[in-house]
Amino acid sequence: GIDVWVDPVAGDDSHDGSSRDQALRTVDAGWQRIPSGTELTVGYRMLLVAGTYPQATSVNYWEDRHGTAEAPIVIEAADGPHTAVFEGDINMFGVSHFSLIGVDIIREGDAFHCESCNHVLLRDVELSGGSAAHETVKVNQSQHVYIERADIHGADDNAVDFVGVQYGHVIDSRIHDAQDWCMYAKGGSAYLPFSGNEVHDCGTGGITAGQGTGFEFMVRPWLNYEAYGIQIVDNVIHDTDGAGLGVAGGYDVVLAYNTLYRVGARSHVVEFVHGRRGCDGTIDVCAAHHDEGGWGSTDGEEAIVPNRHISFVNNIIVNPDGTQSQWQQFQVDGPIDPPASSGVPSPSHADDDLLIAGNVIWNGPADHPLGVGDGCADTNPTCNDAQIRAQNAINSIDPELVDPEHGDFAPADPRVLPTPVAVPDFVWDATPLPIPPDARVDIEPRTRVGAS
């Protein structure tokens, strides 16, 4: 491969960039060394000397660079993680096999955006939107996106926003300080484990699989559910005004071995609701997706997308005295009749094969309402009032976390916890539009401490 060195202080764009003492001065000059519009036959590694890289000399639009597994594109902090800092964002389109390693983006505004990308890795990075970002990290219509050991924060909407993203993961990261959900995967996102993360200080909630999407932003064949094959496992989620976890229009979603602390003050701690779907203006694309068998129409957004095969098992929820959820434990939507024009079968259920079992919930008084409402009716064999009360420890066991104020969310005495239930496998039965099945990754619970 080819190394391209960049030094924001001692470099010069007239240099050849082949070594530290021949470093270029600007990231833009380094990016231009990578051929565009063609599949690379040799890899490029841009090595960034410690320092701050101004927005004025950054890349205006990162596009049309096509690495491969054998010839990747890597931008790396040469002197160790967090030593190279961008003041400009990365706004990327049509890029493949790209890695950003050890390079921070610290600014007032969106930090990283990638559209129509594949095989993207963000590792050992801090991505801060300050107080001006809408989404700190947004990825849409992309595949194989991996975020590892990242610190992502600062947004008036979401810190991490995946729309139409299939394959990848978000692991061992801190996701925090956003006004909406800290993180979600929606719009036909699929096959994504979220594991080992610390997620905190957000408004609407912690992590949700599914939410609401403009129909035209979805990609074939994932045109029915909001989220498929999502695993939200072994995360610590704390200090969210809304629900710590949620599913909204999900198919094959596992939420297991998570610890939730001080969540849901505004209403409830966990939710299983319908996903929203509408057309945001590109009517011809929405109509084409509908005609192919997708769920949606050319009308405005409505809550119509059902849930199916959802497991909420072996989680711990602790809201200390004075921090209980305001109204109830859960929100489970009842059945609805979606418009015939949407193509969604009627009735649409948010609790189809929903399992809530093996959880320890310490939240509110003994008579705090369960909150299943019109969902989880007595006729539902997998989720009903009696089953939930029998198969979960609700205000009967106080798990007494070790030191949550200082980042240790482990139970002081794990022996008080009930025996975990088996985590169900994914069930890839028929979906209206056939999709590739994917195996559930076997993720074992760890020590329930915050992400390092």
| CATH number, domain with residue 9 | 2.160.20.10
171 inside domain: no
> CA 22 to CA 33: how far, in whole Å?
14
> Do 147 and 198 belong to one domain?
no
**Reported pTM:** 0.96
Per-residue pLDDT of the chain (452 residues; tens, 9 = 90+): 999 999 999 999 999 999 999 999 999 999 999 999 999 999 999 999 999 999 999 999 999 999 999 999 999 999 999 999 999 999 999 999 999 999 999 999 999 999 999 999 999 999 999 988 999 999 999 999 999 999 999 999 999 999 999 999 999 999 999 999 999 999 999 999 999 999 999 999 999 999 999 999 999 999 999 999 999 999 999 999 999 999 999 999 999 999 999 999 999 999 999 999 999 889 999 999 999 999 999 999 999 999 999 999 999 999 999 999 999 999 999 999 999 999 999 999 999 999 999 999 999 999 999 999 899 999 999 999 999 999 999 999 999 999 999 999 999 998 899 999 999 999 999 789 999 988 776 766 665 555 54
Residue 169 within any structural domain of the chain: no
Give the structural domain span for 427.
Answer: 194-452
Number of domains in the chain: 2
Pick from 103, 136, 156: which residue ends a domain?
156
Inside any domain, residue 185? no
Residues 314 and 429 in one domain: yes
CB 323 within 8 A of CB 265: yes
Among 156, 180, 212, the domain-final residue is 156
Separation between Cα atoms, residue 140 and residue 115, nearest integer Å: 5
449-to-80, 227, 254, 371, 411 alpha-carbon distances in Å: 25, 27, 20, 29, 10
Shared domain check, 121 and 241: no
Residues 418, 303, single domain; the answer is yes
Q: Which of 130, 156, 182 is the C-terminal boundary of a domain?
A: 156
Please check whether residue 170 lies inside any domain of the structure: no
- Over its C-alpha atoms, the chain yields an Rg (Å, rounded) of 23
